[in-house]
């Protein structure tokens, strides 16, 4: 019983295993899907309305609209995939399954969970709701966060797209796999050692379900809750990425080409701001021929772990305290890991 109480405290962020103070509850939680839906509907209306304005009066607005739609269209299918998986985990998977599959020691559970990210063929939009569902099912946050970072970077679809984008360069595929997996494991271990309970607001299960609700009812309610909630934050992140694309000219990147360490930093920041889907970012990286292989590796490693839409999704799922800390440290570790791995393999 002592161990169970301690586990509940770790997972919920409070001594008695209840929800932490900052966790959503009551009417506020029930309104969040409606707020997300309202936001998405408003942006959709803006897109339709600015289609005519952009063509006739404001070319920059038309570009903004195009980039916004591209990011959302890329992200929504994989966000839907992630929410389906998340809802299925909550409805059909026994609560103690992951506890039995993962090693009891968190130090070992982190790399196992990170390696398990290879089996989810999705992008970063899919990994957030799945990681949240894992936490709700009893997986330690450090392991779930390692999975969150690894899944969109090391799954087979991403690795194949990288091989296609860099033909005859298998070392780039290996470097991406190695650097991404290493970054996710290091971040899981760092959270295990340094993360504080009050920094992480655990995702709350959908409200309004009776205790005796059937699995399919739980699946449907969970899918609706997670998709509408995360969809609004995906749109917010996409709007930020589109704004960057419009306001910052490509020529700005040329200022960093002549300095090797600035190249790496510049493409790392670019990956955050562009918010390209992890299954398409290899083609963007391959087009950046003026930059070193290590700098392009940083673009590939940082993007699936830290970008504007992902930060927005994490803020909605895990709280602003989490989003203010975790992505920044992840960016630093990803850049340093890219430099180390690139120096050896590239």
Residue 53: the pLDDT is: 47
From first CA to last CA, the distance across the chain in angstroms is 51
List the structure tokens of 14.
Answer: 């409070």
Q: Helices 156-165 & 170-194, crossing angle to 10 degrees? A: 140
What are the structural domain ranges in the chain? 56-345
pTM: 0.68
List the structure tokens of 260.
Answer: 């090797």
pLDDT along the chain (346 residues), means of 10: 41 39 40 50 52 56 78 69 69 66 87 85 71 82 92 83 87 95 96 90 61 70 68 66 70 70 87 77 77 92 89 87 93 96 93
Residue 344: the pLDDT is: 93
Angle 39-43-48 (CA atoms, 0-180°, nearest 5)? 150
Residue 229: the pLDDT is: 59
| Radius of gyration of the chain measured on its C-alpha atoms | 20
Angle 326-68-24 (CA atoms, 0-180°, nearest 5)? 40
Sequence-ordered list of residues with C-beta below 8 angstroms from that of 294, at least 6 positions apart, any chain: 260, 263, 264, 338, 339, 342, 343, 346
What is the torsional sign of CA 304, 306, 307, 310? positive
Residue 261: the pLDDT is: 79
Residue 27: the pLDDT is: 39
Long-range contacts of 164-168 (CB under 8 A, 24+ apart): 164/282, 165/282, 165/283, 165/285, 165/286, 166/282, 166/286
DSSP one-letter string for 145-172 = HHHHHHHHHHSHHHHHHHHHHSTT-HHH
């Amino acid at each position: 019983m002592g161990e169970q109480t301690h586990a509940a405290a770790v997972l919920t962020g409070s001594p008695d295993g209840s929800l932490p103070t900052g966790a959503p509850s009551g009417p506020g939680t029930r309104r969040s899907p409606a707020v997300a839906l309202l936001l998405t509907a408003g942006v959709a209306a803006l897109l339709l309305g600015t289609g005519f304005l952009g063509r006739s009066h404001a070319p920059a607005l038309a570009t903004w609209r195009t980039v916004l739609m591209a990011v959302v269209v890329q992200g929504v299918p994989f966000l839907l995939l992630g929410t389906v998986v998340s809802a299925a985990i909550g409805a059909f998977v026994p609560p103690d399954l992951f506890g039995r599959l993962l090693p009891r020691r968190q130090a070992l559970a982190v790399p196992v969970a990170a390696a398990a990210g290879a089996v989810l063929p999705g992008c970063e939009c899919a990994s957030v709701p799945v990681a949240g569902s894992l936490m709700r099912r009893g997986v330690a946050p450090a392991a779930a966060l390692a999975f969150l970072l690894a899944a969109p970077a090391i799954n087979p679809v991403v690795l194949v797209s990288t091989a296609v984008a860099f033909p005859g360069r298998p070392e780039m595929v290996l470097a991406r796999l190695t650097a991404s997996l290493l970054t996710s494991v290091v971040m899981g271990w760092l959270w295990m050692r340094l993360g504080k309970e009050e920094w992480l607001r655990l995702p709350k299960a959908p409200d309004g379900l009776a205790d005796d609700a059937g699995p399919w009812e739980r699946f449907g309610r969970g899918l609706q809750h997670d998709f509408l909630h995360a969809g609004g934050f995906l749109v917010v992140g996409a709007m930020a990425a589109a704004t960057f694309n419009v306001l910052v000219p490509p020529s700005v990147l040329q200022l960093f080409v002549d300095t090797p360490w600035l190249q790496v930093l510049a493409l790392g920041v670019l990956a955050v701001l562009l918010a390209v889907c992890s299954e398409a970012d290899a083609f963007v990286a391959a087009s950046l021929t003026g930059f070193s292989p290590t700098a392009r590796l940083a673009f590939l490693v940082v993007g699936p772990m830290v970008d504007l839409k992902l930060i927005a999704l994490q803020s909605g799922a895990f709280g602003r305290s989490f989003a203010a800390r975790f992505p920044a440290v992840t960016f630093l570790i990803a850049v340093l890991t890219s430099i180390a791995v690139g120096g050896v393999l590239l």
